[in-house]
A = this chain, B = another copy of it.
């Protein structure tokens, strides 16, 4: 039993702002009911390598992808271009094993800490964030670990 159990989903994250680590929180299903998915039913999910802290990528999850991620401990996104679940690494083999997952203060963004096998990026780079705007002119900051042709067989990603 949690003091937050009686709250409407819309009020839950507001109430959790003043919650403490020792407080009993609602069950996972109640928290998932309160997640603020956008009009397309999605939330942004940031993937970070758990030990080095490197931010690897950002993609989207619907509730089904989030539940599968938590159940299987393998990160699953929702592909907006293909409009279906995207089990990270299902084509490339470059999976993300879940280490931890946390929602933000207003329940509309997820951070997943992962163990990334090889490159996270479809270009073969470790991280998707490689187009630096901090120099003039801008610059590419990393090279592929693996040729994307190898990652995806003969076909283009």
Chain A residues in contact with chain B, CB under 8 A?
2, 13, 16-21, 23-28, 31, 44, 46, 48, 52-55, 57-58, 70, 98-107, 109, 111, 121-123, 125, 128-134, 136-143, 148
Contact = CB atoms under 8 A, between A and B. Distances in A.
Is the contact region of chain A dominated by helix, strand, or loop, or is it mixed?
A: loop
A143 B102 contact: no
Contacts of A48: 53, 55
Contact of A55 (B27, B46, B134): B46
A44 B26 contact: no
Nearest to A17: B123
Contact of A137 (B21, B28, B137, B142): B28
Q: Looking at A101, A102, A125, which has the most chain B CB atoms within 10 Å of its CB?
A: A102
Nearest to A99: B134
A54 B55 CA distance: 9
Given A44-B44, A44-B58, A54-B53, A24 B137 contact: yes
A11 to B, nearest CB: 14
Contact of A134 (B102, B137, B148): B102
Nearest to A22: B140
A102 B28 contact: no
B27 A101 contact: no
A133 B31 contact: yes
B103 A129 contact: yes
